[in-house]
Amino acid sequence: MVYNPASGDARFREELDEWVRGFQSAGYLVSLLRTEADGSTCERVGEALSLGGFGEADAVVAAGGDGTLNRVANALVRCGCRAPLAVIPAGTANDFARFIGAPGDVAAACKALAARNVVCADIGAVNGLHHFVNVCAAGMLTNISHYIDQDLKNSLGKLAYYIKGLEQIPNFVPLRFKITTAAEVFEEELYFFFILNSSGAGGFDKLSPGAKLDDGLFDFVGFRAFPIFELPALFLKVLAGDCLDDRRILFVRDSFFRVEYLSPPGDKMMMITDIDGEPGPQFPIEVHNMARHLPILTT
């Protein structure tokens, strides 16, 4: 079990003993690894998996938010561990955990482990080095999680994202992108975009309701340039899961995307992508779908 003591409201560390006791009562031997804030988590998880012989483990459990899940998944992919990944939703948004129905209590989690419902999920590879489980995003709003104070996240949860987003709206400027898929090329002015492996990101559960974990495809959802006063009405459609046919949305489904700027933005931070809530590589990016590559335990 890899756990992040600072995720979400930071309450999981107080519940840790209960989780360990629950898993042990179900017959599991639990090995713990605590994440660190210095960015070494992925490497440390990889070392533990390689040195500890956990390739034959029943599961590798990630307890935290989307960022924690991302680091653990990257470690699994890089070291070739085929033990299924289980998720405990202990973060702020928990986008991917909600999508797969990951249980948030000990009894249900033990039941899910015992049921062994494993789905071989797609995973994204960005520029061949960075992997994402849920989303690769860029543009306005998408890097909010990088700037929110941890105490604010712990106290306000997802509301902290929305407050920070409102602060950015007056600074919205469209960004000119060239998007190349396996079949088409688009040139678009977008405020921001998501390349999704699930139905949602950033606390919005229904960005692409038809998304599937294991179809070998990603869902590209781009928000075209439009008058800012239309934003509240469009977000209502996003919340209702009814935005993909809107003229202000670019929706494409494919297994490959190359995205580059036609006009580099003045803000250097707009050159950095966001991968599962963590800073990703700079543009241009190439995103490949590694179909059914990551075993995940679902309910």
- For position 171, what pLDDT does the model report? 66
User: How many Cα atoms within 13 Å fall on the side-chain side of residue 171?
Assistant: 12
- 185, 178 contact by CB (below 8 A): yes
- Compute CA 231 distance to the chain's CA centroid, rounded to the nearest angstrom: 24
Res 132: pLDDT: 96
Q: What is the pLDDT of residues 138-190, one digit of tens each?
A: 987 655 554 445 554 444 444 445 445 545 655 667 889 999 999 999 999 99
Q: DSSP per residue over 139-207, as a string?
A: ETTTTGGGTS-HHHHHHHTHHHHHHHHHHHGGG---EEEEEEESS-EEEEEEEEEEEESSS-BTTBTTS
Task: Tell me the pLDDT tens digit for each residue of 85-123.
Answer: 999 999 878 899 999 999 888 889 888 888 888 999 999
For residues 286-292, average pLDDT: 97
Q: Average pLDDT of 220-226?
A: 94
Residues 276, 66 contacting (CB under 8 angstroms) = yes
Mean pLDDT for the chain overall: 85
Which domains does the chain show, CATH number per domain? 2-116 (3.40.50.10330), 135-291 (2.60.200.40)
Split at pLDDT 50, 70, 90, the class of 215 is: very high
**DSSP bridge partners of 256:** 288
Q: What is the pLDDT of residue 135?
A: 95
Distance CA 32, CA 41 (A): 13
Q: What is the pLDDT of residue 55?
A: 52
Name 46's Cβ contacts closer than 8 Å, sequence gap at least 6: 75, 78, 79
| Pair of tokens at residue 244 | 């993909």
CB 286 within 8 A of CB 298: no
Least confident of 134-143, 237-246, 262-271: 262-271
- Show the tokens assigned to 20: 């360990």
- Alpha-carbon dihedral 230, 235, 240, 244, rounded to 10 degrees: 80
Least confident of 165-169, 262-266, 281-285: 165-169
Q: What pLDDT score was predicted for residue 139? A: 84
Kindly report whether the peptide bond that precedes residue 295 is cis, defined as omega within 30 degrees of 0: no
Residue 125 or 7, more confident: 125
**Residues contacting residue 139 through CB under 8 Å, at least 6 positions apart:** 175, 190, 191, 192, 193, 223, 270
Which residues neighbour 104 within 8 Å (Cβ) at sequence distance 6 or greater? 88, 89, 90
The whole-number pLDDT of residue 10 equals 80
Is residue 136 a contact partner of residue 274, using CB atoms and an 8 Å limit? yes
Q: Is the pTM of this model over 0.85?
A: yes
State which amino acid sits at residue 153: K
Instruction: Judge whether 193 and 259 are in contact, CB under 8 Å.
Output: yes
In sequence order, which residues have a C-beta less than 8 Å from that of residue 25 and are 6 or more positions away? 110
End-to-end CA distance of the chain: 18
